[in-house]
Amino acid sequence: MISICIKTNNKNVISYLMDNISIINLDNIIFVSKEFSKYNNVIVHYTGNNIPLFFEELTNVLTDCIIQNYENLIIHSLLMLNYFYFDDVDFNAIESNSYQLLNSQTNNKLLPLEVTDRYDVLWKCVLRYITSNKSILLEGFIRFRILDYIKILDSFVDFAVNQFILNREYCEFIELLKMYINSKEPGTRLVHLIYVNDESILLDDHKNIISLTHNNLDLHYLSDISFSSNDYALNSLLSLLPEKIIIHLISPEDEFINTIKLIFGKAVSICSDCNICRTYKLLNNSKTK
């Protein structure tokens, strides 16, 4: 018979363990929660023959338990340790954004690769420990025995703080450009922006192509920020200051288009089905064949 005692005084964790051990798809498991001395104990007995599978199933439960009940607490502690100098508003925003980033990691290609591997790292730490010990003091185990997992979270916290700073600078940059635009008179009536394959083509109100040159670059406002291949399209719009911008979406809307909308506000309208759209869709389709 294999027996393991899980020690903790966290009532939510005890409830979580009892609920999830009960649904382990394995016969010959007996478990009970009892209070001894300083701790509440979840005691698990296994009388079957498939010991490796038992350890794997219990490892699954403990790993999920740690992530769901302790991961946010670890992130909070790491933020308090390394980024205590942020004011309450910024600190709370960073902490909230951190949790959101972790919850959306499957759709976030910007996250460090090791963050997506943190479950496997933690799982191996848990398995290694419970196969060599008959009891586990959960809070002590988390504090001292999962350093590789905590290193990953520490790296993630640094990433989350950097993202917060970059996003704040981006918002400040957008506001700066909006102030610049609002302080100037429109320079032209209308500009068409055709967005295809992540590239921008500008047309004037007579549907003639506007050349995107380096001369359009306003260094005073754009010296520190790069918008990749669409730099000069944005710079041209800032130089031309059109009263109205019609964006013709041949390719899906993305961060660059969103940036244009944020900067120029009500001057921007989106089109996806007009003569210009249809023409450039045909041209694009002919190039891809």
SS (H, E, C) 60-128: HHHHHHHHHHHHHHHHHHHHHHHCCCCCHHHHHHHHHHHHHHHHCHHHCCCCCHHHHCHHHHHHHHHHH
The yes-or-no verdict on residue 48 having pLDDT over 70 is yes
Instruction: Give the pLDDT of residue 56.
Output: 97
Q: From 147, 143, 153, select the one nearest 118 (Cα to Cα).
A: 153
Output the average pLDDT for the chain.
90
Q: Across residues 99-127, what is the average pLDDT?
A: 82
The yes-or-no verdict on residue 219 having pLDDT over 50 is no
Percent above pLDDT 70 for the chain: 91
Instruction: Give the pLDDT of residue 223.
Output: 45
Q: Which residue has the tokens 């690769």?
A: 113
Percent above pLDDT 90 for the chain: 81
Does the predicted model carry a pTM greater than 0.85?
Answer: no
Q: From 3, 283, 220, select the one nearest 133 (Cα to Cα).
A: 3
Q: All domains of the chain, ordered by start, with CATH?
A: 2-177 (no CATH), 185-288 (3.30.420)
Residue 226's pLDDT band, with cuts at 50, 70 and 90, is low
Q: From 252, 259, 260, select the one nearest 193 (Cα to Cα).
A: 260
The yes-or-no verdict on residue 234 having pLDDT over 70 is yes
The pair of three-digit structure tokens given for residue 139, joined into one six-digit string? 């809070």
Amino acid (one-letter) located at 136: I
Residue 141's pLDDT band, with cuts at 50, 70 and 90, is very high
Residue 212's pLDDT band, with cuts at 50, 70 and 90, is confident
Residue 18's pLDDT band, with cuts at 50, 70 and 90, is very high
Flag the least confident range among 58-62, 143-147, 179-183, 217-221. Answer: 217-221
